[in-house]
Structure 1
Amino acid sequence: MGLGNWYDENIVPRVIRCACSAPAIMKVRQQVVPLAAGQVFELGCGGGINQQFYDAQKVTYFAGMDPSPKGLDYARSAADGRGFQADLRQGFGEAIPFPAASFDCVVCTYTLCSVDDPAQVLREMHRILKPGGRLLFAEHGKAPDENVRTWQGRIEPVWKRLAGGCHLTRPISSAVAGGGFAVAPIGARYAPKTPRWAGWMEWGVGLKAG
């Protein structure tokens, strides 16, 4: 195993789990994840960070996917702690291994920044949702202020290498809308106590037409 592979497989999951558990991010998760109900699929479930926010009285079935074996270990441990019988699989969001119209709700938090093809991932999430189903999303990405976007573009090439392919310049709500969803925003802001180039967040609900 090369040093790069070792870093990606062993260090990056720990870095992501730590960074994605920052207080400002956890407050956003707390607004979004409890909205999940019925048959739920979580993309980027590695780390199990969202497990504490699911309402076990509302979730009837839980499945998830993540590319990181180490991240899935964390997720399985967290699911066991909640008493969930979870179907958690290793894989990538560009090819979700579930039939069309399988889920009432898809949860995607701080994940679209690091996928290879966000448009294809959004198409896949749209595909596996039932008509009238909801995508609950919370992401960081392209800032609304031009001076911040300039710094995002400068920093992104190095940032991607250190942070598991995380991008700083990807649009959020507009990308969800481009994936065929009707977007109902919940919030948008810069995370406090965070460099602005890394801190722009948007969260909301994407509705698949019924």
Structure 2
Amino acid sequence: MSGQFDGHRSAPGSLSDGIYERIYKSISAGDWPVGTKLPSEVELAVQFGVSRPVVREAMLRLRIDGLIESRQGAGTRVISVPSRSVIEFAEPGSIADLQRCYEFRVGVEGEAAYVAAQRQSRAKITEILAIVEKLRVAALEMKDIPAEDDIAFHVAVAEATENSYYFSSVKAATVALHVGTKIARTLSHSTVGRTALVYEEHKLIVDAIATGDAEQARSSMRAHIESARRRVFVGA
């Protein structure tokens, strides 16, 4: 896993990624429970042996990911505990990349769905519908949706844009689905519930694309990827 998302990180192997991951692991392990006030940026910089700007960038990412919040005069506190399964499945140094990959996908794949709905390539839409039918069958049979089928769906939507830039970007980014699927399965208490939910999310997307509702296609795709990210990192 390590190094596979280099195209989407601000600087390969950056110090801020390392600090992000160390704080992430500390929160996940319960060293800093919800409600705990974190040390100041200066104190963390000394603790980790890095500059204050490096800590500031890591803290910004943690805020964006909904793990901490900062209030003027009150400092920074932990507001959410991430899943430990991410640490178990992701290779060292790759957690920040995995987060950034989902962030990247929300924007790119949302627009890909929008364009696919505008293009209205009937042949490509037929391909997407065939994949969603596989997801429907999996949901009915109460089975896990294979990562390969999930990936095929996202790649097919990108192909339906008839724009090679979307296809290349999505093809590279969906590598996160392999790890994400494994993590989501360990966190879910109900295969039936998760599979049905994932199927419904995909169906909303393809229905919007098939009917040419570009705005709905974009919002449904963005919502789906955000939900997938929550299932991976929070288990919700």
TM-score norm. by structure 2 comes to 0.22
Larger Rg: 1 or 2? Answer: 2
Greater helix proportion: 2
Greater strand proportion: 1
- Work out which structure has the larger RCO, using CA pairs closer than 8 Å and 6 or more positions apart in sequence: 2
TM-score norm. by structure 1 comes to 0.24
